[in-house]
Amino acid sequence: MTSNLSQNVQDYLKAILQTGKDESATTTDIASRLEVSPASVTSMLKKLDEMKLVKHESYKGVVLTHAGRKVALEILRHHRLIETYLAKALGYTWDQVHEEAERLEHHISEEFEDRIARILGDPQYDPHGEPIPTKDGRIPPTTTERLADVESQESVIVRRVHSHDNTMLRLLTTHGIGIGSALRIASRNEDASLLKLVHLRKNIELSLDVCEKVFVERMASTTLPKTS
């Protein structure tokens, strides 16, 4: 189905899926994600509504129809499978895969998608820990708890980083933090704008803005060193 739709249409459907999740997406949020004007979004939403890919009501936002959601999930699956292939098979780092996947996601065939999935062992998550939609449109479960919200002295495991900010991803890499890293929250500064963490027996400081994009799983028990 995607082969009959323009790249621009596919980008909009994916953006609506990621912005609205299972709720309505706003024109402002879509414009921000795609870095276009609200007027351009409004014009495209009317077109998508006519194509029966979305349901759009002025001042109430937009939701994907069954057909629109199917397309969006397929493109998202392409994107995250490509990211995973680039990282695992070609040695790309997690701050390099997004732009390449953006360029390739619209152009691979279903056979190519299936072969990548088989070679990778049908992965459930991409290099950032984001869930990869299954062939039949199911989305694997993922954590929604942010590192920013974890209490001091609790220990967690990093499961997902919801950002394509290359500077931020490289910062985490510099600190040795990636998917699966174990962290202890040591303390916060007075205005809570900075979190002090322990990772691999080293003290690390991360801004609240970064911690809001890192999603974690709490550890039932910890072997990380206590901090004073």
pLDDT of residue 78: 97
Q: Find the length of the chain.
A: 228
Domain segments of the chain as ranges: 1-141, 147-218
Cα 113 to chain centroid distance, Å, stands at 19
Evaluate if residue 195 carries a pLDDT over 90: yes
CA distance 14 to 73: 7
CA distance 201 to 205: 13
Q: What's the pLDDT tens digit per position in 63-100? A: 999 999 999 999 999 999 999 999 999 999 999 999 99
H or E element that contains 175 = none
Give CA separation, 23 vs 16, 18, 126, 174, 206, in Å: 10, 10, 24, 36, 31
pLDDT of residue 222: 46
Chosen CATH of 147-218 out of 3.20.20.70, 2.30.30.90, 3.40.50.2300, 2.60.40.2220: 2.30.30.90
3-state helix, strand, coil in the chain (%, to 5): 45, 20, 40
Q: Can you say whether the dihedral through the CA atoms of 210, 213, 214, 216 is positive or negative?
A: positive
Mean of the per-residue pLDDT values for the chain? 92
Evaluate if residue 118 carries a pLDDT over 60: yes
pLDDT of residue 227: 44
Q: Report which of residues 149 and 220 the model is more confident about.
A: 149
Q: What's the pLDDT tens digit per position in 17-49? A: 999 877 899 999 999 999 999 999 999 999 999
- Tell me what the mean pLDDT of segment 56-69 comes to: 90
pLDDT of residue 193: 86
Fold of 1-141: Arc Repressor Mutant, subunit A (1.10.10)
